[in-house]
Structure 1
Amino acid sequence: MRRLRDVFYINANFEEQSFIYYGMEFQEFIKYCPVELENLLITDGQFITNGFNYHWNFETAEGKEGILELTEEDIYGLGNFHWIDYSNEEDLNQCTPEEQAEVLYLSHFCKPLKSPFFDRINNQFVYLAHDDGWFCKLYCRDLSTFKEIIANKIIGAVSTNKRRKIYPMSDEVKNQLFEFTKEGLLIDFSHIFRDSRSVGLYFYVIGHYKNMDEMYNNLERNKQRAKVRGYLEHKNKQWKIDIC
């Protein structure tokens, strides 16, 4: 299983409340997500959980423990891995045939018939991944949730020394990075620069990609042609962005 953590690419569409991204696996998503999910309905990806819903004929991951167990499975080996979260089984079982059809359409075609969010089950996300860590399209009810995920993933990537405390990002820095995702943000973890006083890394605004092979296989060219090149640095207990 290939581990893909050298770069993190995010292509955001704020209008449809979606993100296409590369470089974050399912277990990282759960780790860095500030929202604690209650249950997952697995709409594509078989024989991976211990739960099953007979009303939907799909596997489920129930509760915090079930979801954590799922993060330990070989998600990459599934190929497609699609899920939608839900509040509780009673509400899930009360979904109408029309609502079920909408969820199935969304899982199969990776786009909604109407909306990716269903009030009956109160889902926060629709997660549509292929080859865990390579491609994911995420529908996010609250866009600011993904802003926090980005910040948490960056902090997690640079926090390798327990003796050096990495402080949270200010809202200003998080907002600036988040705005860049609208034009295709590439965060480069392959070269993290450290000295006794600071830690930092480069990021690039490289444009919109839906094909991750095209994005990743031309990575150096995409960096060179970036619309924006910046350096994100943690120093003196705070984060700052310098545009190069």
Structure 2
Amino acid sequence: MKRNRKQDVIYVHLNEKNRYVLSSGIQFSEFIQALYDSINHILLLKHRFDDADFNLHTLLDYIPRKRVMKLAGDDVSQYGDFCWIDFEEMEGLDEIPGQVLAELLYLGHMKEPLHAPFYNYLGNRFTYLAIEDGWFNKTYYRNLNDFYYLLSELIPMKLELIKPEKSLLGLKRRKVYPSVDQHLLLSLKGYMSEGMVLSLKEVVQNRARIEIPMWVIGDFSNMDDMHEEYEKNSKRSCDAKLIFDKKTQEWKIRSN
């Protein structure tokens, strides 16, 4: 049941101070599709991928950039724990001191960093900590603009899966919805800081527009509890709507 929920409900809790996002409904494959150009290699802290390379200095597996898309095509939600950190150059990985390696091992084991999880040796932009990927994700961003970019690409990506446009003959037509303006998403920062659900499950569509409702439901680290709270809140009027105008091909937000 959990995996069916992933596509149609996006939960986001933003911790701006510590630069991380707790989420449910954002999968690794979607993350990579949106942010592929920002990632070079991947150091695997917890995984079950069978085509990784082995680094003798850290005794950890890693994925060179040329195989990142292969990893994204695997069903990583079945791994259980799936944790990684990106890195720029092999030379940096081979120079990691024992203290940093100890912090990385702790990070993968506890899903919590001892310090801000960004390392000069690695030049990483992300630290990605997931339990049943797409169900519970905790992702650290060196620059939170990367998160807003991810969300701007993710929403139209998911909308296409949920509400594919049809041609006059009734056949599904590949309709790529435009990205959501990141400045528009920045206006939702207050909602996301409290814990917000964006529900593709409750999308309303007519000839003129598509409306995606949003609810502020609070801070959750247990996603079963989050979904229960979402189900309760979905019976009341939403707090805001993300609206796509089909004529102008533009997105806007309307608060209720």
Bigger shift: residues 102-111 or 8-17: 102-111
Bigger shift: residues 141-150 or 110-119: 110-119
Residue 164 of structure 1: how far off its partner (Å): 5.2
TM-score (norm 1): 0.91
Q: Could you say which residue in structure 2 is the equivalent of 1:234?
A: 244
Q: Could you say which residue in structure 2 is the equivalent of 1:221?
A: 232
- Which of 191, 195, 212 in structure 1 is aligned with 2:202? 191
Write the distance in 2 (CA, Å) between the matches of 1:166 and 1:74: 26
1:38 maps to a residue whose letter is N
Matched, 1:59 2:61: yes
Matched, 1:202 2:223: no
Write the distance in 2 (CA, Å) between the matches of 1:31 and 1:178: 23
**1:96–1:178: structure 2 CA closer, same or farther, 3 Å change rule?**
same
Maintained 8 Å contact 2:87/2:93: yes
Write the distance in 1 (CA, Å) between the matches of 2:83 and 2:97: 20
Maintained 8 Å contact 1:34/1:148: no
Maintained 8 Å contact 1:126/1:140: yes
Give unpaired runs (5+ residues) of structure 1. Answer: none
Q: Could you say which residue in structure 1 is the equivalent of 2:71?
A: 70
Runs of 4+ in 1 over 3 A off after TM superposition: 162-165, 222-226
Bigger shift: residues 141-150 or 25-34: 25-34
Residue 58 of structure 1: how far off its partner (Å): 1.6
Maintained 8 Å contact 2:152/2:181: no
**1:26–1:193: structure 2 CA closer, same or farther, 3 Å change rule?**
same
Aligned residues: 242
**1:158–1:91: structure 2 CA closer, same or farther, 3 Å change rule?**
same
Give the percent of matched residue pairs that are identical in Structure 1 and Structure 2.
28
Write the distance in 2 (CA, Å) between the matches of 1:173 and 1:47: 37
Give unpaired runs (5+ residues) of structure 2. Answer: 166-172
1:151 maps to a residue whose letter is S
Write the distance in 1 (CA, Å) between the matches of 2:116 and 2:24: 24
Q: Deviations over 1:95-148 (max 9, x none)?
A: 101111111112222222222100111001110001121001111100111011
